[in-house]
């Protein structure tokens, strides 16, 4: 069972990784609209996805332990971290789809 302090430390790691992901996603959009190469955009998006995956692993480890011990232990900060993680995960999906749409529209103009 994790202590409240351990949960809060994990929560802060989740929030920081998710926040870093969000910053990278904003950079991806800026790169996309400022004429960066597709390869550069793809690398930055891949880096953002690695950050959100890092946050997700922390969350999953904490949840897995609670399943194994059958003890529910949480804090308000950990709940906030989970909410932040899921919100930014949705942003990853939206930005990924925006890139596809942008490239399809660009290809239509060029063709």
Q: What is the pLDDT of residues 25-51, one digit of tens each?
A: 999 999 999 999 999 999 999 999 999
Count how many domains the chain has.
Answer: 1
Q: Which CATH number does the domain housing residue 72 bear?
A: 1.20.58.80
Domain of 89? 4-110
Predicted local distance difference test score (pLDDT) of residue 2: 75
CB 11 within 8 A of CB 75: yes
Predicted local distance difference test score (pLDDT) of residue 111: 66
Rounded Cα gap, residues 20 and 53, in angstroms:
12
Rounded Cα gap, residues 11 and 63, in angstroms:
12
CA angle 10, 15, 18 (to 5 degrees): 120
**SS3 for 3?**
coil
Q: What is the pLDDT of residues 14-26, one digit of tens each?
A: 999 999 999 999 9
Residue with tokens 């996805």: 49
Q: Considering the entire predicted model, what is its pTM?
A: 0.90
In this structure, what token pair is assigned to residue 29? 């959009």
Q: What is the pLDDT of residues 69-106, one digit of tens each?
A: 877 778 999 999 999 999 999 999 999 999 999 999 99
């Amino acid at each position: 069972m994790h202590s409240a302090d351990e949960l809060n430390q994990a929560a802060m790691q989740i929030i920081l990784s998710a926040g870093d992901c969000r910053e990278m996603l904003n950079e991806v959009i800026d790169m996309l609209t400022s004429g960066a190469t597709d390869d550069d955009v793809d690398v930055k998006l891949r880096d953002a996805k690695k950050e959100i995956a890092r946050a997700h692993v922390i969350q999953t480890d904490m949840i897995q332990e609670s399943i194994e011990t059958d003890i529910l232990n949480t804090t308000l900060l950990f709940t906030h971290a989970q909410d932040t993680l899921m919100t930014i995960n949705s942003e990853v999906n939206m930005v990924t789809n925006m890139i596809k749409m942008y490239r399809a529209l660009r290809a239509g103009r060029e063709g």
